[in-house]
Structure 1
Amino acid sequence: MSYLETTHNVYKDAALVPDVGLCCTTNAIWELPGLKIPKIMQEMNYGCGSTVHAKDLTNNPKMLYVGVGGGMELLQFSYFNRQKGGVIGLDVVDEMLEASRKNFAIAEEQNDWFQSDFVDLRKGDALNLPIDDNSIDVAAQNCLFNIFKMDDLKKAVAEMYRVLKPHGKLIMSDPTCEQPMNETLRNDEKLRALCLSGSLPIADYVKILTDAGFGTIEIRARKPYRILDPENYPTDELIFIESIEIAAIKDPMPEDGPCVFTGRTAIFYGKEDYFDDQKGHILYKNQPLAICDKTALALSKLHRDDLFISQSSFNYGGGGCC
């Protein structure tokens, strides 16, 4: 049995009998006017963060969500779209698709604005998306890509890049781990299916995205996720796993490399009203400016004593420049 078959069976069982706690299930439950999340959707919330950000969802974007789970994030996306087929939900597990259909019928009873046909549920594989090129504004996946081994992960990212329109966004939430994992953990198909042993370091994760062509990367949140301890897992040391919420934007690749925002800020506090580095960055006195890592490095090389550059917070909230 391949690791993908193991994953299929894990989520088939989770579709037939909700498994509370299967994944992190600490996603934000949006509290919005008129939005009610059915209890069954919350119980089948098999994600490790949230991919729903209002700033990504203006002007009725065409959306794709891969790995539907219980349908909670699809419902949240539909709240911002409210068009027939405005959100495509894709899954390879028949039982999960059927469970989502039933959950949407409940959601329709509890939300007078929602119609089940707002969501176009389709069977499909993340490694070969049945979606046209350059047709999606916002694509998302939550706690799915970390399950894939490296070659399959690269294929899944490349497929998302293919279907996105220029400047479209891939919004993701996945477990990450900065510590090395032994081969026993890495090769444990069940632990990989449970979103544990496939966790990569953030830098490796980002490189996969930029190698696929994404010119802008935003790391929006970094949160504690799980501990793998020697008593319960095949490891000699405690392994700390975090989850990140990240956006990869299909911007053109800059000549000097991708713009990666990791929550760094520059503050000018000199005698003048502003500082202009003559490379497109104007910093007004005592006004924090979000900057990408590439710009942070360039500014640090100026060795100015009136310029503060913060370390990465891994919590980028938008704005700023590259």
Structure 2
Amino acid sequence: MSYLETTHDVYKEAALTPDVGLCCTTNPIWELPGLKIPRIMQEMNYGCGSTVHARDLTNNPRVLYVGVGGGMELLQFSYFSRQTSGVIGVDVVDEMLEASRKNFLEAETQNDWFKSEFVDLRKGDALNLPVEDNSIDVAAQNCLFNIFKAEDLKQAIAEMHRVLKPHGRLVMSDPTCEQPMNNTLRNDERLRALCLSGSLPIADYVKALTDAGFGTIEIRARKPYRILDPKHYPTDELIYIESIEVAAIKDPMPDDGPCVFTGKAAIYFGEEEVFDDGKGHLLLKNQPLAICDKTANALASLQRDDIFISESTFHYDGGGCC
């Protein structure tokens, strides 16, 4: 049995018998005005964060969500879209698609604005999406890509890039791990399916996105997720896993490489009211400016004593140098 078959079986069982502890969601279940999330959707929220952000969802976007779970994030996306087939949900597990259909009927009884027809559920594979090229404003996946091994991950990201419109965005939440994992952990198909042993370092995760052609990357959140300890897992040392929320934007790739925002800022505190680096970046005196890592390195190379550059917070909330 391949690791993808194991994953299929794990989520088939999770569809038939909801497993509240399957993933450790790092976000509270938030509700918007007029939005009620059925309890069954909350119980089947098999993610490690959130991919639903209001600033991504203006002007009735067309949304793609891969790996539907119990339908909670599809419902949240529909809140912003509110059009027939405005949200496409893709899953390879028939039982999960059927469970979502039932959950949407329950959502209709609790939300007078919601209609099940807002969501177009499609049987499909993340490695071969049943979606046309350049047709999606916002694509999303939650705690799915970390399951894939290297070549499948490359293909899954390429598929998301294919279906997005120019300047569209891929919004993700996935576990990450900065410590090395032994081969026993890496090759354990069930632990990979449970979103544990496939976790990559953040730098490798970002590189997979930029290699696919995404010109702008935003790391929006970094949070504690799980512990793999020697008493319960095949490891000699305690391994700490975090989750990150990331947006990869289908911007053209700059000639000097991608713009990757990891939560750095620059503060100019010199004698003039503004500092111009000659490359399109204006730093107003004593006003923090969010900067990508590329701009941070360029400013640092000037070796000025009147510009402070913060360390990465791994929390970026928009705006800044690019």
Shared fold, TM over 0.5: yes
Q: Distance in 2 between matches of 1:25 and 1:273?
A: 45
Alignment of 1:221-260 (within 5 A): 221-260=221-260
- Measure, in 1, the Cα distance between the counterparts of 2:262 and 2:72: 28
Residue 144 of structure 1 is matched in structure 2 by 144
Spell out, residue by residue over 1:267-300, the C-alpha distance to the aligned partner (whole angstroms, 9 max, x if none). Answer: 0011110100011000000110000000000000
Deviations 1:102-126 (A, max 9, x none): 0000000000110000000010000
Whole-angstrom CA distance in 1 between matches of 2:132 and 2:190? 33
Deviations 1:213-267 (A, max 9, x none): 0000000000000000000000000000000000000000000000000000000
**Which contiguous aligned blocks of 4+ residues in structure 1 show a shift greater than 4 angstroms?**
none
Partner of 1:55: 55
Q: Which amino acid aligns with 2:20?
A: V
Residue 69 of structure 1 corresponds to 69
Q: Deviations over 1:20-47 (max 9, x none)?
A: 1101133332221110000000000000
Question: Following superposition of structure 1 onto structure 2, how do residues 302-313 of structure 1 map, counting pairs within 5 Å?
Answer: 302-313=302-313
Runs (5+) with no aligned partner, structure 1: none
Deviation at 1:49, TM superposition (A): 0.3
Aligned to 1:29: 29
State the distance in 1 between where 2:26 and 2:224 align.
Answer: 10
Alignment of 1:283 with 2:297, yes or no, is: no
1:135 lines up with 2:135 in the alignment: yes
SS at match of 1:209: helix
Alignment partner of 1:215 is 2:215: yes
Supply the RMSD in Å over aligned alpha carbons.
0.6
Asked if residue 88 in structure 1 is aligned to residue 88 in structure 2, the reply is: yes
Counterpart for residue 153 of structure 1: 153
- State the percentage of identical aligned residues: 84
Distance, in Å, in 1 between the alignment partners of 2:28 and 2:209 is 25
Check conservation: 2:26, 2:223, Cα contact below 8 A. no
- What is the deviation of 1:196? 0.1
> So what's the TM-score if we normalise by structure 2?
0.99
Q: TM-score, normalised by structure 1?
A: 0.99
- Is 1:101 aligned with 2:101? yes
Corresponding letter in the other structure for 2:193: A
Q: Conserved in 2, the CA contact under 8 Å of 1:27 and 1:47?
A: no
**Does structure 2 conserve the Cα–Cα contact (< 8 Å) formed by 1:260 and 1:292?**
yes
Partners of 1:37 and 1:118 in 2: CA distance = 16
* Counterpart in the other structure of 1:126: 126
**For residue 216 of structure 1, what is the amino acid of its counterpart?**
T
Runs of at least 5 residues in structure 2 that lack an aligned partner in the other structure: none
| Cα deviation code 1:139-194 (max 9, x no counterpart) | 00000000000000000000000000000000000000000000000000000000
User: Which residue of structure 2 lines up, in the alignment, with residue 191 of structure 1?
Assistant: 191
Contact preservation (8 Å) 2:269, 2:286 = yes
Secondary structure of the 1:225 match is strand
Equivalent in the alignment of 1:44: 44
